[in-house]
Amino acid sequence: MKLLIVTPRFSPESFSIGPIAETLFNKGHDITVLTGRPNYGQWRYYPGYEKYSKYEVINGVKVIRINERLRKKNNLSLFINYLDCRRKYKKALKNIKEDFDAVISIGLSPLVCLEFTGKFCKKRNIPNLMYGLDLWPESFVAASFTNKGSLLYNIIKRYSKKIYKQFDEIVYASPSACDFIKNILKIDTKFNHIYQPCLTERPSSFDSESHHYMKDGKIHILYCGTIAKFIHLDLIIEAISLCPNKNKIVFDVVGSGSDLDKMIKLVDEKKIDNIVKFHGRVAKEKTIGFYEKADILFCPLYWNCETSNMIPQKLIEYFMYGRPILGMIKGDGAELIDSSSKLNIVCDQNPTDIMNSIQSFLSYSANKFIQCGKENDLFYSKNDRFKLNVVCDELIGEIKLLKK
C-alpha cells in the first residue's frame, strides 16, 4: 500500500513512529512521512538540520519536512510553535498532489498537526487512522500547563474533540484511552488497542540470567528516558536522600529534557551527587551498557490526569532487558508490571513509599532478584504484541478493514 504518515515527530527524534515507518517500508509498502524539523528536547535543531531542507529519504522512507518554528523553554514559545505547526501542516497537506491508499495520523503533541488530515482523506475518499500516543487535553494537565476544569482546559477539550471526530478509527497504545475517548469526550468512533513496540532489539551479547546483582555491594537503579515534569524524578531523588543506607545506592539517569537542570540542582542541594549520576542523552546503541550494569529499572509516570493511566513506551523496553522493575505508576502500566512478576514493586508517588520500596529491594536475596528478572524477560518474550513486526502487521490489518 501507498501510505502517508502525518506526525509532528520523526527520525532522528527517538519516537516509535520512526522504526514503524521503516519496518512498513521493509514489508513492501510505499511510505511518505509529513513531519517537522527535528528539535525535540534540545531547544535547537538537531545537528545536520540547522539549514532547512524540505525533502529527504531515511532508510527508504520519503520524508517531507515543514519548516517548524523552533520551540524554546517557555509557554509562550510553545503556544507560538503550535500555531505555526497548525498553519504549516494545513498548507503542506494542500500542496500534496500524490494519491495514497490511507493516512496514518500519529497522535503526538502537538495534535494540531492532524487537524486537516480529515479533509485531506475525505477529498480522496481514503481511510484516516489515528495511532495515538499522547492523550489530549490530558497531556496539558500532565505537563502542568493547565488544570482540569479550567477555562483553558475546556477550550482545548472542545478543540480536541473536533480533531478526534474526523478519524475513521482511533488506535491507542493503552487500552484505558478508550474509556476517555468514549466516556469523557463522548466520541463513538471505532477504537482499537495496539501497543507501542520496543524500539530496540536486545543484543545477542546480553544475558539477563547471568547478571550478578549488587556486585559491588550497591543496588544500581537505572532510569532511561525523558526528564520532564510528568516524570517527577524529584520524588525518587528525595527518596534516596531519605534512605538510611543511601551509601548502598547508585541511581543512574540517562536522558535529557526540560527538567534536567532542575534535577541536577536538587541533587546538589541534597548533597547526593556521588549517588545520583546524570549521563545525558545517549545513542540507542550505547544504552546497552547501562542496562547491563543495572539491578533495578525505575519506571515513573506521575499521576495527575487520565494520561497517567497509560503505558510508557519505555516500560516495554524494560521488560525486554529482564531486570526487576520499580514502578511509580498507575493504570495500564501498573497492571502490566504486576502481571509480569509479583516480585516487581509498584509504589505510591511520594518519597517515603519510594524509599520503602528501595529498602525492600535491598532486602531481596540473590535468588529473588534472578527470579524477578527471568519473569520479566519471559513476559516480554511470550507477548508478540510488544514486537515491532507485529505492531506493523496490526496497523496494516486495521487499514485493510477500513478499506473494505
Q: Could you read off the pLDDT of 355-386 as tens digits, one per residue?
A: 999 999 999 999 999 999 999 999 999 999 99
Q: What is the pLDDT of residues 26-45, one digit of tens each?
A: 999 999 999 999 988 777 89
pLDDT higher than 80, residue 208: no
- Does 236 lie in the same domain as 348? yes
The type of residue at 99 is D
**How many other C-beta atoms lie within 10 A of the C-beta of residue 13?**
20
Angle CA 179–190–143, to nearest 5: 45
- Does 116 lie in the same domain as 44? yes
Q: Is residue 205 part of a domain?
A: no
Q: Is residue 266 part of a domain?
A: yes
- Is residue 328 within 8 A of residue 236, CB to CB? The reply is yes
Task: Give residue 55's pLDDT.
Answer: 96
Q: Is residue 206 part of a domain?
A: no
Specify the DSSP element, H or E, that contains 335: helix 331-340
> Is residue 81 very low, low, confident or very high in pLDDT (cuts 50, 70, 90)?
confident
- Does 397 lie in the same domain as 374? no
314 or 64, greater pLDDT? 64
- Does 397 lie in the same domain as 315? no
Q: Which of 28-32, 120-124, 300-304 has the lowest mean pLDDT?
A: 300-304
Task: Give residue 66's pLDDT.
Answer: 95
Q: Which of 75-79, 166-170, 205-209, 376-380 has the lowest mean pLDDT?
A: 205-209
Distance in angstroms (rounded) separating the CA atoms of residues 219 and 358: 9
Distance in angstroms (rounded) separating the CA atoms of residues 37 and 7: 11
pLDDT higher than 80, residue 201: no
Q: Please, which residues have CB within 8 angstroms of residue 233's CB and are 6 or more apart in sequence?
A: 223, 227, 253, 259, 263, 300
> Is residue 76 very low, low, confident or very high in pLDDT (cuts 50, 70, 90)?
confident
The CATH code of the domain that includes 374 is 3.40.50.2000
> Is residue 241 very low, low, confident or very high in pLDDT (cuts 50, 70, 90)?
very high
Place of cell 539517569: 253
- Is residue 132 within 8 A of residue 171, CB to CB? The reply is yes
- Does 159 lie in the same domain as 280? no
- Does 280 lie in the same domain as 186? no
pLDDT higher than 90, residue 319: yes
- Does 125 lie in the same domain as 92? yes
pLDDT higher than 80, residue 203: no
- Does 391 lie in the same domain as 337? no
pLDDT higher than 70, residue 308: yes
- Is residue 139 within 8 A of residue 109, CB to CB? The reply is yes
Instruction: Determine the structural domain holding residue 46 and report its residue range.
Output: 2-197+387-403
Does residue 244 have a cis bond before it (omega within 30 degrees)? Answer: no
Q: Which of 98-107, 130-139, 215-224 has the lowest mean pLDDT?
A: 130-139
Task: Give residue 205's pLDDT.
Answer: 66
Task: Give residue 134's pLDDT.
Answer: 87
Distance in angstroms (rounded) separating the CA atoms of residues 367 and 361: 12
pLDDT higher than 70, residue 287: yes
Task: Give residue 141's pLDDT.
Answer: 77
Q: Is residue 207 part of a domain?
A: no
pLDDT higher than 80, residue 142: no
Percent of the chain with pLDDT over 90: 68
Q: Is residue 325 part of a domain?
A: yes
Helix (H, G, I), strand (E, B) or coil at 5: strand
* For range 183-208, the mean pLDDT: 83
Phi, psi of 241 (to 5 degrees): -65, -25
- Does 230 lie in the same domain as 330? yes
Task: Give residue 86's pLDDT.
Answer: 93
Angle CA 377–311–112, to nearest 5: 140
Task: Give residue 164's pLDDT.
Answer: 94
Q: Is residue 100 part of a domain?
A: yes
Helix (H, G, I), strand (E, B) or coil at 208: coil
Count of domains observed in the chain: 2
Mean pLDDT of the chain: 91
- Is residue 111 within 8 A of residue 160, CB to CB? The reply is yes
> Is residue 264 very low, low, confident or very high in pLDDT (cuts 50, 70, 90)?
very high
pLDDT higher than 90, residue 19: yes
Q: Which string of DSSP letters, residue by residue, matches 41-100?
A: TTTSPPTT-SS--SEEEETTEEEEE--PPPP-SSHHHHHHHHHHHHHHHHHHHHH-----
Closest C-alpha among 341, 309, 304, 354 to residue 148: 304
Distance in angstroms (rounded) separating the CA atoms of residues 177 and 384: 21
Q: Is residue 172 part of a domain?
A: yes
Q: Is residue 277 part of a domain?
A: yes
- Does 166 lie in the same domain as 31? yes
- Does 352 lie in the same domain as 314? yes
- Does 271 lie in the same domain as 170? no
